[in-house]
Amino acid sequence: MERLFCDTALAEHIERAEARFVAGCCDATRLRLGDGLGFTRPLAGGVATFAEAGSPFNKIAGLGFAGLPEGLDEVEEAFAELGAPVQVELSQLAGSAVGAFLTARGYRLESYENVLGRRVGAGEFPEDVRPCRDDELETWLSAMADASAVADDQGLPSNEHFPRELLLNALRDMAGVRRYLATRDGEFAGGACFRVTDGIAQFGGAATLPAHRRRGVQTALLRARLAAAAEAGCDLAVVTTQPGSKSHQNAQRQGFDLLYARAILVKGTSATSSSGADSRQAS
């Protein structure tokens, strides 16, 4: 299989897709709440979003490929009015001037997340994985929130800690995704989802119930989504993971290459959520 090399053009393509995904999730949250709060604002080729208090979709994504974020003053004021810190996800392949610009404004490095990718080719759909039916959505959401709440003990610890209700909200508001579930011995073992944006299959929302971990559940879900992505006409699949995690290892075993890291930079009181990596790809 072709090893995937990521240049700045590919990184920009992936970051643009990520910004669109985050914006869609934020819009879904505002539609669900119906309270008129929150915002989605374009910013230097990326997007600044606030969904609801403590949400993993409160962030600035996609910066670094269209110059300095000159409108950042207004964005920072908007977050401050809602009592939220400003969190930026900055690609390792973004322009170096952007990182210097942010740190000069008082942003501090809190953590990293990894972006992995691979080319998509035809593959077989595992027998123990199937699409989640509409009438199974609430069961899927509840099981996934339970699974995500129990952190995996492999790799660097995550600094993300979400209350169960916020996990449910984030999983529910993942815009435009196709959800899948895996079974083991007739029981719900885990789930995952993906979204198609500009030919990219964005994998996320993956978690395995603790009793079924280390049994190949996430491997099956990865293979299923790769097969579905091929059917959907995607030529690239990407996934975001916690560095050194079991998810990172599982993805590499399925041919994903480490493309780049994102630095998580925060200004203001540290949020309970960080990058949202675990809401996209958990253990």
pLDDT digits (tens, 9 = 90+) for 101-156: 999 999 999 999 999 999 998 888 999 999 999 999 999 999 999 888 776 666 66
pLDDT exceeding 90 applies to what percent of the chain? 80
What is the pLDDT at residue 240? 96
More confident: 32 or 35: 32
- Binned at pLDDT 50, 70 and 90, residue 159 comes out as low
Q: Rounded to 10 degrees, what is the CA torsion of 174, 5, 224, 242?
A: -50
What is the pLDDT at residue 2? 76
Res 273 pLDDT > 90: no
The lowest-confidence range among 28-42, 58-72, 152-166, 167-181 is 152-166
Rounded-to-integer distance, Cα 207 and Cα 221, Å: 10
CA 185 to chain centre: 29
What is the pLDDT at residue 156? 61
pTM strictly above 0.85? yes
pLDDT exceeding 70 applies to what percent of the chain? 91
Q: Which tokens belong to 84? A: 């939220």
What is the pLDDT at residue 158? 61
Distances (CA, A) of 277 to 20, 127, 155, 224: 16, 27, 14, 20
Averaged over 234-246, what is the pLDDT? Answer: 94
Rounded-to-integer distance, Cα 149 and Cα 181, Å: 18
Phi, psi of 175 (to 5 degrees): -75, 135
More confident: 107 or 185: 107
Angle among Cα 53, 272, 182 to the nearest 5 degrees reads: 90
What is the pLDDT at residue 237? 98
212-221 confidence digits (pLDDT tens): 998 899 999 9
What is the pLDDT at residue 278? 44
Let me know: does 201 contact 237? Beta carbons within 8 Å.
Answer: yes
Average pLDDT of the chain is: 91
Q: Which tokens belong to 49? A: 């979003």
